[in-house]
Amino acid sequence: MKDTLTYEELKAAVHAAYDACKGLTGGQNAHYIPYLANVDSSLFGISACMPDGRMISVGDTNYKLGIESVSKVPTAILVMRQLGADALLEKIGADATGLPFNSVFAILLENDHPSTPLVNAGAVTACSLVEPKGSADQKWKAIVSNMTDLMGSEPELIDELYQSESSTNFQNRSIAWLLKQYGRIYDDPEMSLDLYTRQCSMGVTADQLAIMAATICADGTNPKTGKQVFAPELAPKVTSLMATVGFYQHSGDWLYTTGLPAKTGVGGAVIGVMPGQFGICAFSPPLDDAGNSVKAQAALKHIMEGLKLNIFSR
Pick out residues in 83-102 that bind ligand GLN (CB under 6 A). 101-102
Nearest distance, CB of residue 172 and ligand GLN, angstroms: 5
Site string for ligand GLN, 49-68 (x = CB under 6 A): -------------------x
Site string for ligand GLN, 112-131 (x = CB under 6 A): --------x-----------
Q: Categorise residue 291: left if φ over 0, alpha if ψ from -120 to 50, beta otherwise.
A: left
Q: Is 172 in the site for ligand GLN (CB under 6 A)?
A: yes
For ligand GLN, give the closer residue by CB, 113 or 263: 263
For ligand GLN, give the closer residue by CB, 68 or 187: 68
CA atoms within 13 A on the CB side of 100: 12
Q: Is 266 in the site for ligand GLN (CB under 6 A)?
A: yes
User: Cβ contacts of residue 143 below 8 Å, gap of 6+?
Assistant: 74, 75, 78, 127, 130, 195, 199
Q: Can you point out the beta strands (E) in the chain?
A: 45-49, 55-59, 65-66, 156-157, 202-204, 262-264, 269-274, 278-283
Q: Is 280 in the site for ligand GLN (CB under 6 A)?
A: no
Do 202 and 145 meet the contact criterion of CB atoms below 8 Å apart? no
Q: Pick from 215, 232, 206, 199: which is nearest to 300 by CA?
A: 206
Site string for ligand GLN, 290-309 (x = CB under 6 A): -x------------------
Burial of 310 (0-12, 13-18, 19+ CB in 10 A): middle
CA–CA distance, 229 with 232 (Å, rounded to integer) = 9
Nearest distance, CB of residue 273 and ligand GLN, angstroms: 18
Nearest distance, CB of residue 266 and ligand GLN, angstroms: 4
For ligand GLN, give the closer residue by CB, 237 or 250: 250
User: Cβ contacts of residue 144 below 8 Å, gap of 6+?
Assistant: 154, 155, 202
CA atoms within 13 A on the CB side of 90: 8
Nearest distance, CB of residue 299 and ligand GLN, angstroms: 18
Nearest distance, CB of residue 195 and ligand GLN, angstroms: 12
Burial of 166 (0-12, 13-18, 19+ CB in 10 A): middle
Strands 45-49, 65-66: pairing is unpaired
Q: Is 275 in the site for ligand GLN (CB under 6 A)?
A: no
Out of 29, 69, 146, 222, the residue judged to bind ligand GLN by CB under 6 A: 69
Nearest distance, CB of residue 2 and ligand GLN, angstroms: 32
Query: Nearest-CB residue to ligand GLN?
Result: 69
Q: Is 221 in the site for ligand GLN (CB under 6 A)?
A: no
Binding site for ligand GLN (CB under 6 A): 68-69, 101-102, 120, 165, 172, 200, 265-266, 291
